[in-house]
């Protein structure tokens, strides 16, 4: 039922014509619709990563590198994806293979929602357990087979709704992590996230 105006219910005075000109009530704009995350989980506690962009190799401390068994010298880089750091370990004889690890702050990729929107275009797309409390996926292209068969994995952790930290692992022949590239990427990503959380003052 529409409620009648008090002016209608009030007694009418035939000798008086009311032509009220009060200011119209302010109308609040409708709330903005929530962003379309394409099924990606929202990041409840965004992390600040800017302090690490100038020196991305700080994402893993010397102590963390030792614990992870990473001996290669860090090489900082910055490409279209964002600031990154790479470590390459060259194995000894008889294979002389290279284990490669790269961590990238993907600053222009629209976060995990971009990967979710493109999930059908990847060779593999896997939702993973959260890494240090933050949503994670493994997604990429491996034309020759699965990540386990190819010895490579790309693991992305959403640190804000618009930014991910990407850990890329390529295992050489004879690697102690052979057959588990995504498990290895998860180990590294966990340590990376510990560093980022500490830099953001989140514990």
Average pLDDT over residues 13-32: 51
Kindly report the average pLDDT of the chain as a whole number.
84
If one counts the domains in the chain, the total is 1
For residue 22, is it within any domain? Answer: no
Higher pLDDT, 6 or 148: 148
**8 A C-beta contact, residue 55 and residue 76:** yes
For residue 192, is it within any domain? Answer: yes
For residue 33, is it within any domain? Answer: no
**pLDDT given for residue 6 in this prediction:** 36
**pLDDT given for residue 98 in this prediction:** 76
- Cα distance between residue 138 and residue 151, in whole Å: 13
- Cα distance between residue 176 and residue 111, in whole Å: 31
Among 120, 102, 105, which residue's Cα sits nearest to residue 38? 120
Residue 184 belongs to domain spanning: 50-199
Residue 85's CATH number = 2.60.120
SS (H, E, C) 130-171: EECCEEEEEEECCCCCCHHHHCEEEEEEECCCCCEEEEEEEC
Q: What percent of the chain has pLDDT over 90?
A: 64
pLDDT tens digits, residue range 148-191? 999 999 999 999 999 999 999 999 887 888 899 999 999 999 99
Give the DSSP letter of residue 121.
G
pLDDT tens digits, residue range 57-80? 999 999 999 999 998 899 999 878
**Per mean pLDDT, which range of 26-40, 138-152, 178-192 is the poorest?**
26-40
Q: What percent of the chain has pLDDT over 70?
A: 79
**pLDDT given for residue 93 in this prediction:** 65
Strands, sheet with 124-131, edge to edge from the N-terminal-most edge strand: 74-78, 83-90, 98-106, 164-170, 152-158, 134-140, 124-131
Average pLDDT over residues 43-60: 96
- Cα distance between residue 198 and residue 34, in whole Å: 29
**8 A C-beta contact, residue 176 and residue 99:** no
Global confidence as pTM = 0.80
DSSP reduced 3-state for 104: strand
**pLDDT given for residue 1 in this prediction:** 35
For residue 141, is it within any domain? Answer: yes
**8 A C-beta contact, residue 112 and residue 164:** yes
Higher pLDDT, 44 or 96: 44
- Count CB atoms within 10 A of the CB of residue 123: 14
**8 A C-beta contact, residue 30 and residue 47:** no
Higher pLDDT, 10 or 200: 200
**pLDDT given for residue 12 in this prediction:** 38
For residue 17, is it within any domain? Answer: no
42, 68, 86 from 152: Cα distances, Å: 27, 17, 15
For residue 74, is it within any domain? Answer: yes
For residue 61, is it within any domain? Answer: yes
């Amino acid at each position: 039922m529409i409620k009648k105006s008090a002016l209608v219910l009030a007694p009418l005075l035939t000798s008086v014509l009311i032509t009220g000109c009060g200011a119209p009530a302010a109308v609040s704009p409708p709330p903005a619709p929530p962003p379309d995350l394409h099924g990606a989980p929202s990041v409840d506690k965004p992390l600040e990563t800017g302090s690490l962009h100038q020196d991305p190799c700080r994402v893993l401390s010397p102590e963390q590198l030792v614990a992870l068994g990473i001996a290669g010298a860090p090489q900082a880089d910055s490409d279209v994806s964002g600031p990154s750091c790479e470590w390459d370990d060259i194995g000894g004889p008889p294979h002389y293979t290279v284990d490669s690890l790269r961590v990238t702050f993907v600053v222009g990729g629209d976060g995990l929602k971009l990967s979710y929107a493109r999930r059908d275009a990847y060779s593999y797309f896997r939702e993973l357990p959260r890494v240090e409390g933050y949503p994670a996926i493994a997604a990429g292209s491996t034309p020759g087979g699965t990540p386990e068969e190819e010895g490579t994995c790309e693991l992305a952790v959403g640190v804000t709704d618009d930014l991910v930290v990407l850990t890329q692992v390529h295992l050489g022949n004879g690697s102690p992590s052979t057959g588990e590239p995504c498990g290895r990427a998860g180990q590294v990503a966990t340590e990376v996230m510990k560093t980022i959380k500490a830099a953001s003052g989140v514990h």
